[in-house]
Structure formats: structure tokens, C-alpha cells
Structure 1
């Protein structure tokens, strides 16, 4: 009814289940930035509200901020709407406002603005880190590739002495942007043929592959 689909994970690809860990790390970084600003608020009566009491503002800012994955805020995804605050219903032409209400408004607005700035800084930091270290590999059907032996458990010999990659194999199907299905040779026919792109790399022919009948130059002896 809701159009929910299962996203099956690929073997030896721990990133599939890393979404929760990534969100936790992101929230930790947001809180770290929020605390670094030294957030506290002193009201008209001289009472100081420390950052711990202002954490609901961080929660509100996070739940109403647009996420790059969905293009929507968590509140819209879950409930279909962003929550309104009492201050949203105040009339702007009010001549008098109770000091306590004004203190609460100022404290909440300042906290939400700071939290929103922390979230924006964290998004920009994550984007720069990703762009700096990540390179998208584009494959297409028919490409020749090598597959990492990290997921192969039935190879002979000591693990540290094995080749890092085996192949070559031909890509017969693209599964989304992150997985490929290859045509395995008879030697590896019992292996599941779907691999994440992180375990696959393009194969480039060497001169020996291109000219198998060419004689090698003898080694020069001293």
C-alpha cells in the first residue's frame, strides 16, 4: 500500500548496513559543533539556560531540515508536515509581549538558528570529504573486470599469498549504481555472481594478453 521495497544487501559490503551508524556520527558532529558555540541563554530574571536544556532546538532543526537523500525533511517523510511552534501563531502587530514569552522566543530562535548553522556546516564538511576521497567508477554491460578476492573463501594457499584480484570476468548486468553481475568462469561457478562496485575494478589488457605469441626478450646476464 505504501510502496515499501526491500533493499537486499550484498555480501562483503558492510556499507549497506552503515546508514544508522552514519546518522549517529552525523548527529554527534552536529552536537559537537553546537556545544562548541558555547550555547547558553540568560533570561530577563538572570537565569541561565545551559546547552543541555536547549537540545530540543537541535532536534527540531534536524527533523525540519531537508536531507540530500530524500530531498525532504524527516518530519515530512514520517508525518507529511513540518511542525509549527507557538511563536508561528503570534501576531506581528502585538504591541506588548510578556517578558517571559519574549525570553522564550529569543532563546528558542537563537538556539534553532545555531542548530541550523551547525547542520549546514556538517553537510558541507561531509560533502567536501566525500568529493575529495571518492571517485565514481562507471561500468557498462560487456566490460571486462577483475574481482577482489576478499569475498572468496575457497581459494587455495595462504590468504596473504593470494592474488588481490581474480578474473577476467564480463559484466552481464548492472544492478543499480552500486552492484554488478558478472559471468563467472567454471572455476568460480559456485560463487554468487553479484558484487558491489567497491570490490570490482576495470581490466586493462597487457601486451602479453594482446600478443600472446610474441616472444619475450631474454634477460641480460652480467
Structure 2
């Protein structure tokens, strides 16, 4: 079972409501919880408030075990791995430039210098959903030549079976989880994207590459071996699940 923790109490009710309104604005707390249970949960979240990401903090990172990236072909690489930028509308270009600047500020991307040798480039597209944009690398060609990482990922049916025994469930999602993994120097050179405004190199693991799920699963299993062996934590591609049969163990 998880170790007991020292819970920090609120100074007063108004301070508590301010925390709930400002810090837990996106948290979805089950309305079926009793007032006592809800209060205990909020106190736990307040105690560990600094552990959660905010817009004012830099993106976290997992130290050690950088992501390696190996191709099953030798140099010179085929032309399919040296692809040009895709054409884009003015709206997509504007969105792309914004995403690139955000990723540079987060330390996820850097611009490749004019004198640097470039052997592999991957084009990107802008995907739209509900008027929100997302930059997506078209890594299909690179994935074709990538040596697969066979690290096991939990089957969804096994995860659902474990969750079915729980009465209380907490779901937590890592902020840009893949981007919290560093890359080896070799991997960085293979993970370069090409756009209308230049070539950029990933400094952290991007979404869309073949072995990203396997590496992320391995890292999570390495970080939480004790919790996983005790059976109350489940790591899955997407939110991590904490499940309990008793409320006291949950908080």
C-alpha cells in the first residue's frame, strides 16, 4: 500500500474556494463523493499542488535513458527520407509558426543551422479540430525504416479488468508526456522536421514516431516499479489510473 502522507490544511474556507476555482478549474471531481470525501481529496491535491504542471512553469523532463533511434538501413539514406515541406495555406502557416515558437520556448525544438549537415527531413501538417490546431509530423517514411522496440504495452482488456475491481479511480495525464523524454544525439539528427520557415530538430521525443509508446511505457514502469507491483497503479498510453477499493487508501 502507498505510504501515509502529511496533509496540509487550508487557512480558511475562502482560501480553499480560491484554490478550487483557480487551480482545479479543469479537474473533474465525481459529484457523487460525500462532502467529507470531496474535502479530503481537495486537501490532498492542495498538499501536492506543486507537483502539477502549470502554464508558468517549464516542461518537465525524465533524466537518463535518453531515447535511442535506429534505422534498419545504412547511409546513404534513400530519397524518401529526405522529403520537402508540404504546401500549406496562409492560415496553416500562421498556426505552424506559432506551434514552432512554442516548442522552441519549451526546449522541444531548435532551429538547424545553415552549415549543419542534414540527411533526414520529415514534413509536417497542421490538423484542425474544433477550430484548434495541432502540428503533426508525417513520420510514415521514417517509421518504415525504424527498428521496432518490442517492449510490451498493456492490453486494453487487461487494464479494464483491473479497473473493474476498483470502487474509486483517479486518472492523471502527464503534460506532453512524450516531450518529457530526451533524445540521444543520433536520434536528434534523424528527427528533423522541414517547414516553410526552415528545418528544426527535435530535442525531445515527438509524437508520431514508431517506438514512442514503447519507450514511454518503459520509462513509466522504471519510475513506478513499487506502485505497479502493489497493484494500485496502472500505466497506459493516455492517463495513468490509480484505483482503490477503499476511500481511505485512495486519498
TM-score range, shorter chain: under 0.3
Q: Scaled by the length of structure 2, what TM-score is found? A: 0.22
Q: Give the number of the structure with larger relative contact order, counting CA–CA contacts within 8 Å between residues 6 or more apart.
A: 2
Higher-Rg structure is 1
Higher strand share: 2
Higher helix share: 1
